Amino acid sequence: MELKNTLIAALGMEFLEVGQGKVIATMPVDERTRQPFGYLHGGASVALAETVASVGAAAIIDSEKEICFGLEINANHIRSKRDGIVTATAEVVHQGKSTQVWDIKIRDEEEQLICMSRCTMAVVPKK
């Protein structure tokens, strides 16, 4: 997977685990991911959530015949964060023929819940 010149690289995301139905990645809370008031930007959390769901979905489809895209995502921002690292853990809760649903929890270094998200992935045939 080429990460250079992507949103993943720009926001400093790093993958710790990519498995069948589970993905774990980190993202710094720094000048790239903060909003103007100095806190982790909700959009950065959503970008991290969709990234781990997308990578997880891609890992469990037949990449020779299928491709996946984010179809829907929601997020609840539970706690603010000013600096450090957040870790997203995505787990598949539904793996259908044309959709997947992923549950994503983003936590800080103390395991405090920062954001919870659900992402639906569309699985479509390659053309």
End-to-end CA distance of the chain: 20
- At 122, the amino acid letter reads A
Task: Report pLDDT for 42.
Answer: 98
The tens-digit pLDDT sequence of the chain (127 residues) is: 678 899 999 999 999 999 999 999 999 999 999 999 999 999 999 999 999 999 999 999 999 999 999 999 999 999 999 999 999 999 999 999 999 999 999 999 999 999 999 999 999 999 8
Task: Report pLDDT for 108.
Answer: 98
Q: Give the three-state DSSP class for 33.
A: coil
Q: Give the three-state DSSP class for 67.
A: strand
Q: Please tell me the class of the 7-125 domain.
A: alpha beta
Task: Report pLDDT for 23.
Answer: 98
Q: Name the active-site residue from 2, 14, 31, 50.
A: 50
Cα separation values, 62 from 57, 82, 97, 113, Å: 10, 40, 11, 33
Asked whether the CA dihedral 51, 52, 55, 60 is positive or negative, the reply is negative
Whether 66 is a known active-site residue: answer no
Task: Report pLDDT for 2.
Answer: 77
This prediction has a pTM of 0.96
Domain boundaries, the chain: 7-125
